[in-house]
Structures are given as C-alpha cells and as structure tokens.
Chains A and B, each alone.
Chain A
Amino acid sequence: MTARPSLRSARRLSPVAACAVLALCACTANPGTGAAGGAASDGGAAAAGPIPVSITDTNCEVSAASAPSGVVSFEVTNNGTVPNEFEVLAGDKLRIISEQENIGPGTTVTLTAALPEGEYYTACKPNMVGAFVGDAAFTALPSDAPAVDESTQELEAAAVTNYTAYVRDQVGTLVTETKAFTDAYTSGDLELARALFPQARSYYERIEPTAEAFGIEEAGDLDAALDLRIQDVAADAGSSVTDPAVLETWTGWHRIEADLFSEPGSPFSFPDAASRQAAADRLNADTQTLYDLVYGNVEGASGPFELTLNDVVNGAQGLMDEVANSKIAGEEDTFSHTDLADFQANLDGARVAYGNVQPIVQAKDPQLDAQITERFDAVQAQLDTHVSGTRPDGAPAFVDYSSVAAVQDDAAGTPASSAYTEAQRALSREVNAAAEALSQVAGIVLH
C-alpha cells in the first residue's frame, strides 16, 4: 500500500562517518601485540588479549591508554558496590561508540568496540546516571586493520548481489502471475481471478519497499500506479471514495480488487468489459515497466536501478513496519480481505532481506540474530493459525481476514480500537516484537 511517496527512499547510505561497529560481549582478541597492560600506561602498551578494566564506585581504571585501531575488546570487572557501566566515547565525549550498562557488583563482562584510528574516551557511570567517573583518554593507534575488514566487505557485497537477484526474480514472476490473474479476470472466470488475486500480489508484496523507493518520473510513482488505495486517491483529491471523477483516476491492483469483490451495481463496479480490459492492460503495462526498471532496460528517476546495503536493511524493516501499520488493521485489501496473504508475503520478503545481511549480524551480535530469528518464527506461528488450505501455486491460502479481525470494509472507516480481536492483538504483538529487534540491524550493518 502506498499513501504517499516514502521517506524511506531518502534514506540512502550516507558517507562513512567515523565508522564504528558495535558489538557487545563478543570475545575477540585485540590485534597487535605488546606488553600486557599494567596500570594505565601511555601510548603503545596494547594488550594481547582484552584490556582489563577495573571499576569501583569512584574510579574506572583501564589498564592501557591505547590499542591498535580495529576491533578492541575490554574485560570489565565491577569491583564496586553498585551497578555500573563502562563506555567508549567519541573524541567529543558526547556520543557513545560502545558501552555495557548494568554491570552488577562482582561481575565481569567483555565489551568490544571497532575503533578506527583516532582519539576516544573511556568512562564509567555508577548507576548509569550522572557525570562520568574516571573518564580517561584512549587512543586507537595506526594499524593495518581496515575499518571494515575484508570478510565483512565480502559479506556486504554478497548481501547486495543476492538481494538484487531476489528482487529481480520476484518481479519476473510478478509479470507472469499478473498476466495469469488478469487473463482470468478479463475472460470472466471470476472465481479463478479471485483465487489468483492474493497469489499474484505476493510477488509484489515481498519486495514492496524496493518498488516504493524507485520510480520512473519520481520515486514511488510506479508503486502509486500499482498499489494505491482509493482512500488515498480520494483524500488527495479532497473527495469521497465513490466520487466517479476520483474512481476514474484510480489504477492498479486495488482498482481491480474493488470491481472483482463488489456486488454488481456497486459504485466500485466497472460498467462494462471494456473498462475491465483497460484496467487489466494498465496493470500489466505498469508491471512491465517495473520489470524493465529492475532489469536495467530503462532508467528510473534516480538513474539505473541499483540497490545498496541500505536498501537491503531497510527492505526488511520496511516490510515489517508495513505489516505493523496497515496489514494488521486490515487497511490494505478492504474489498477482498486477503490481507493475510499480503502479510505472509511481507514476512517472506523481510526474512529474505534479513537473511542476506544475517551473516554480518551473526558475526557481530549473535544474540540479536537469534532474537530476530525467534521473533520471525513467532510471527509465522501466528499466521499459521489462519491457514485455510492451499492456493493454486501450492502455497498456503488464508482465511478471509474479516472473519478473524475487525477491518475496514469497502474503503470505509477504520474500526474502533476496542473492536480489534484477540487474533489481531496476537499478530500485532509478534510483529512489533520482530520489528523492534529488526530495527537494531541497521546500527550493526550500516556504517
């Protein structure tokens, strides 16, 4: 669903700032060699293993004041009486590069920070509030370690390559599935058309944030032509959803849905076969344009189609946000109530997008990776409870969403929040849990 051009398209990869990769509690040996640090020594005394840090309620002793740039680890022991935190701060002492909060008295944790050559600060903060305690300068010395190591670079390149291939593959199938759907629709086999509607859309819903981010004249115009809802068309026109002048300008999936799933004579029904044919032709033509764009046959508004690591990460996040914001409320398919098929496609797409950056996350924050996987599974488990059978392509078919959820009906108003069902609440819970975990990926993968 597209209401208006997505902000997401503006979230392109920014130039590399002082790059830093966060990773908590991953035990990585520091690069370089040198005398094991004793009491805070000056430059050059890099430890072979993690740099020991001793915290008390009033002090924060880092046993080395420098280390070769690259991944630096600290072994932090709280010898004090209150919970404490250890942080590595940027040279301005205002921004956190890496930190571990809530280190209980008597416990030891390991903190790693990817530190490009430069000046930093280390500090503690008893009870995680107030002024820094024992803040001290820390230098990452010149070394051969690149800011982003080679294996990570390879993983990043593979993520972009693989996700690009996935997007192309989905759009390729979308073209043929859309044709099959419109053939059934224009030939009058409405029962088949109704069965193919959610199936064909799946190929679009899996990659929707990508389609939203690109366009021919401007970002998002293809998505608007393909997937706009009448509510948004009407709102933009300042008119009602049944205004014939508004309906006239409406194209895409939902235009056909409104006809296909409305009673004859409804304001949403087409008057004749020629109107149906025109809508079908337009859908196929716009889908073909999307194909030409992603396969490089035509250039888009921002030049040739090219994905970045940012698109992969935001693709996953965007799909889950899409589900959280509109699918659960049943705002997407208000005539057919096939929202659960879109929901499944969004989830599939998010899993694929995340899967492409998963090796990077696994290496830097295995706990987060496990959490994301677990939460994706939990969303799937909720969806599985609504499977009703099998659709023509063999994938699971879902129940009419309005049979288990309070939804918008025929582009009418949003249900009252008190009307939402337990099924919707359960879906919402799991989707938000997954999206919240997924939101942490960008900070780990992008730099």
Chain B
Amino acid sequence: MSEPHLSGKGSDAPGGRPDSPGARPLGRRHLLGAAGGALLVGGAAGALATRALDGGADGDAEEGVLAADLSRSYPLRGEHQAGIVTPAQDYLFTAAFDVTATDIEALRDLMSRWCVAAEQMCAGELVGGEPLENPHAPPRDTGEAWGYPPSSLTLTFGVGPSLFVDAAGSDRFGLAAKATPVLRAGMPRFGNEALRAESSDGDMMIQACADDAQVAIHAIRALARIGFGTAAMRWTRAGYGRTSSTSAAQETPRNLFGFKDGTANPRAEDTDVLAEHLWVAPEDEGGDWLAGGTYMALRTIRMHLETWDRESLQAQEAVIGRDKRWGAPLSVPAPAQTADEFAEPDFHASEGGRPLIADDAHIRVVAPEHNEGARMLRRGYNYTDGADGLGKLDGGLFFVACMRDPRTGFYPVLERMTQSDALTEYLQHVASGLFAILPGIGSADTMIGQKLLA
C-alpha cells in the first residue's frame, strides 16, 4: 500500500515534529494505512462512512490489528487540522460555543490558550504540563485522563457564521469582511427538519475524537473550562461507533438501523479527489484565511428506531437498497459473503420490469452519479441520548461531513434526500450546524486560526 500524501496528520507537513521528544511513536506506516477510504462518495444517512476501507480492499489485515493502538498520538500542527481525514476513532465528543466576550483581544487570547492546551492533550500530556508546586491553586488539569495514553485524540476547531456577523447583523469582531458567501448565507433550510436552536449552530465548534471516550470528553471539558468568561458551551454531542475496520476481516460498521454503509469510498491516496472536493484552495472564497481548511456540516438525525424495527426485512432492505446481512446492493442476486458489499450497485438492473434497487432507495438517491458527482467526506457517529420520555430511545446518527463547498458538495444531496429518499420517513433532523474548519496550525503559530484573527 502506498502512503497517501494526505494522511490526516501532516507528520510530513510543515510543523510536524514526529521525531521530537514530545511526539509519541506514531506507527506511521500503520497510521497511514488506516487512513484510506476517508472520502465517501455521496452521503448515505446512517453510514459511518470514513471507516477506512482501502485496507480491506488490499486484504492487509495487519493494518486493522493496530487500528486501536491507544499509544498512538497525532500532533496538533500540520498543513490541515487533524480529525478530518484521520482514521475515524471510536468516540466523538463535539461541543459548540458561543463567544461571550465582545473584543477580539479576548478571542485571540482564548485561541492561544486553546492552542496550548490542545497541543498538550493531543500529546497525551496534562493541560499546563507538570502539576503546579503550589497546592493551594486549583490543578490546571482536571485530571480524569491523567496517565491515560493519548488514544489517538484529535481536536478540530471550526468557526460558525455567527462569529462573523451575529443574529442582529452586527460585525461583532471586525471579521465580517472575511465571511465567505457560504458562511454569510448559512445552511439553508431543508424539508423534514424540526431543528432545536439550543442544540444547533454556534460561534465556534470543537470536535474531539479519541479511541477512549474519557479522553475525548476530558479534552472538551478542559477547553470549556479555559473558555469560561470568553466562550460559553452551547451544546455538546457524544458519538460512538465501532472500532475502525481497516481490513477485509472486519465488517463495515453499522448504523442504528442495523445496516452497513460507506462502501463506495475511493482511496485516500487519491489526493486529486481530496484537493478537488475537500480542502479549500487559496483561490477559493476566503482562501486568504481558509485555504487548507474545509467546511463541516453537522446534522443530528434522529432515527425513529421503533418504527423501523417493525418493518419487514424485505421493506427495510428496499428502503436502503442493500441486503441487511452482507451489505450487498440489491442488484447482487444472491449475496453470501462480506466481499459482496463492495460490488458496484447496478442501478439499471431490474426484474419483471421493476428496478432491483428501487427508485426511492437510499443508495440510489444519494449516489454521486445521481448528484452531479457531488462528493463529501463523511465522518459521522451513532448517538443515543437516553429515553425520549415516551418510552422510546432517542438515538440516531450524528452526521458529520466535510466538503470544499457545501453549495455543490452537500446541499443538493441533502435536498434530494429530504425530497425523495424512502429513508426520510424514518428520520428527523433535529439539530444542524455549519462551520468553517480552520486550516492546520502552522509550526510558528501561537493560536488557533492565526490567519483569521492575527
């Protein structure tokens, strides 16, 4: 397997210090191997799409064995932020913040302090480094991840439209001129939405992903603590999913409807695809501060699990367009093995005049060939929020997707899905967010978003 240039962590990018005393052994070959298949073509609700798949295509089982090595760490600095094409870790904890400070100096100070703490935590170290000698001061690190391995922690920082211009139209920090048209417009409304304002949007967003839930949650708690007085936590979302499957021996993870997806991923070595569809380029709108970054669309999609569970197997498979056991497209006549999952769906196949993959089947609706080649990188997680008060489980998909331009890469797919996807009957979008993911933190930078705020 060749090493993809965009491995997710820029150990070969400016600022990476893989050989410095602070960096843990990265197991670089394994890390890069696991990075494959991070780009999902089209969006398939319920998929944990970035679970790497190219390792599986290669049948390289060794890569998969090391996927959950908790000693692995990713440096904070690099050309792109970590946590986008980084192989999806087991757990996610995302938090959005509202900036309560009114002057940009306070915002810069926060971004500096977040930068330091993030770098320390990603290295598996305590916030603030060694403990303070003075026992009267509160410990700078809250301590619940003390001695835990780095656990592949990544922290990904984004800024929302309201950081640039608030709801009242005010240019609160003098950043309005830097807002791109995408940010100025915000995410459009879609059908089948019942969005809750208190768990949507936000001035800033931090995505923490790790192979240990406590490590991810500790990171958000530490950053929120640093934020008191400058930024207030608006909402959080905890996500889980199966350990990354990076070999043919492991099956693709399943969503809460019990279906596999994320099958049509191209290889991450395809840097042209990433450059064309994922990363904002210098010549793009906002390229002066956003080049090397991307846009992240977040949708909390509640699944009506109980209703779904009462559907016949045949009906469930027809809605998705895949067989439930193996994940094979319904155009495969008699699926019998895991490899059938990777068969290319034949949307023209029919029997008795009826298409094998129904016209409103999920995989047909979201397939890139039906969406003018729209592509995005998916990095979603399952979520469960306890009982809904009516005796049902409140759970579903925390949909996370990144794309260079959501106007072409995401909105059309979501629009199509909410209009004509059979799956929509079982879904409700309950929260939403759009953030510009800042470019990677440069080797000499002292704050997150230095190009935007300096």
Contacts and interface: CB of A to CB of B under 8 A. Distances in A.
B446 A102 contact: yes
Contacts of B119: 127-129
Contacts of A95: 130-133
A439 B446 CA distance: 26
Given A96-B130, A443-B134, A437 B229 contact: yes
A20 B444 contact: no
B20 A126 contact: yes
Contact of B120 (A128, A429, A443): A128
B444 A104 contact: yes
Interface in A125-165: 125-131, 133
B142 interface: no
Contact of B115 (A89, A102, A105, A446): A102
A348 interface: no
A17 B134 CA distance: 8
Contacts of B113: 102
B138 A433 contact: no
Contacts, number: 116
A433 B229 contact: yes
A435 B229 CA distance: 9
Contact of A20 (B23, B133, B228): B133
A139 to B, nearest CB: 17
B137 A442 contact: yes
Interface residues of B, number: 37
B378 interface: no
A94 B17 contact: no
B353 interface: no
B16 to A, nearest CB: 11
A442 B135 CA distance: 9
A18 interface: yes
Contacts of A443: 132, 134, 136-138
B20 A130 contact: yes
Interface in B428-454: 443-446
Contact of A87 (B20, B22, B129, B138): B129
Contacts of B272: none
Nearest to A11: B136
Query: Which of A20, A102, A127, A375 has the most chain B CB atoms inside 10 A of its CB?
Result: A127
A85 interface: yes
B129 A90 contact: no
Nearest to A372: B229
Contacts of A196: none
A326 to B, nearest CB: 18
A173 interface: no
A130 B23 contact: yes
A297 to B, nearest CB: 32
B311 interface: no
Interface residues of A, number: 48
B133 A442 contact: no
A101 B226 CA distance: 14
A439 B229 contact: no
A83 interface: yes
Nearest to A132: B21
Contacts of B77: 127
Given A429-B100, A440-B137, A443-B138, A99 B112 contact: no
Contact of B116 (A14, A82, A102, A375): A102
B439 to A, nearest CB: 17
A89 B100 contact: no
SS of A interface (majority): mixed
A447 interface: yes
A436 B119 CA distance: 22
B290 interface: no
A433 B100 contact: yes
A97 interface: yes
B159 to A, nearest CB: 20
Contact of A129 (B125, B138, B228, B445): B125
B92 interface: no
B134 A22 contact: yes
Contact of A96 (B20, B129, B136, B229): B129
Given A20-B134, A125-B129, A371-B229, A131 B445 contact: no
B30 interface: no
Interface in A404-447: 418, 425, 429, 432-437, 439-440, 442-447
Contacts of A90: 133
Interface in A256-306: none
Query: Which of B128, B129, B445 has the most chain A CB atoms inside 10 A of its CB?
Result: B129
B307 to A, nearest CB: 24
Interface in A92-136: 94-97, 99, 101-102, 104-105, 125-131, 133
Contact of B129 (A17, A18, A99, A435): A99
A176 interface: no
Contacts of B128: 96, 101
B371 to A, nearest CB: 36
Contacts of B129: 85, 87, 96, 99, 101, 125, 128
Given A131-B21, A436-B229, A437-B229, A82 B100 contact: no
A99 B131 CA distance: 11
Nearest to B442: A82
B225 interface: yes
Query: Which of A90, A129, A435 has the most chain B CB atoms inside 10 A of its CB?
Result: A129
A130 B17 CA distance: 11
A418 B196 CA distance: 10
A169 B391 CA distance: 55
A118 to B, nearest CB: 11
Interface string B184-225: 000000000000001000000000000000000000000001
A371 B106 CA distance: 11
Nearest to B123: A129
B232 interface: yes
A96 B22 CA distance: 18
B123 A130 contact: yes
Contacts of A126: 17, 20, 22
Contact of A104 (B17, B20, B232, B446): B446
Interface in B296-344: none
A81 interface: yes
Contacts of A425: 232
B201 to A, nearest CB: 15
Contact of A440 (B22, B116, B138, B198): B138
A22 B445 CA distance: 26
A18 B128 CA distance: 20
Nearest to A98: B133
Nearest to B450: A104
B132 A96 contact: yes
Contact of B131 (A96, A131, A445): A96
A148 B446 CA distance: 35
Contacts of A418: 198
Nearest to A425: B232
Interface in B82-124: 100, 112-113, 115-116, 119-120, 123
A130 B444 contact: no
Contacts of B15: 82
Nearest to B23: A130
Interface of A: 14, 17-18, 20, 22, 81-83, 85, 87, 89-90, 94-97, 99, 101-102, 104-105, 125-131, 133, 371, 375, 418, 425, 429, 432-437, 439-440, 442-447
The 9 closest A-B pairs by CB, nearest first: A130-B22, A443-B137, A433-B229, A129-B22, A131-B21, A446-B136, A130-B21, A95-B133, A436-B228
14 contacts: A20-B133, A83-B116, A83-B445, A95-B131, A96-B128, A101-B116, A102-B446, A105-B444, A125-B22, A129-B120, A129-B123, A130-B20, A130-B23, A433-B230
Given A83-B444, A104-B444, 8 more contacts: A20-B134, A81-B443, A82-B443, A82-B444, A87-B130, A102-B113, A425-B232, A439-B138
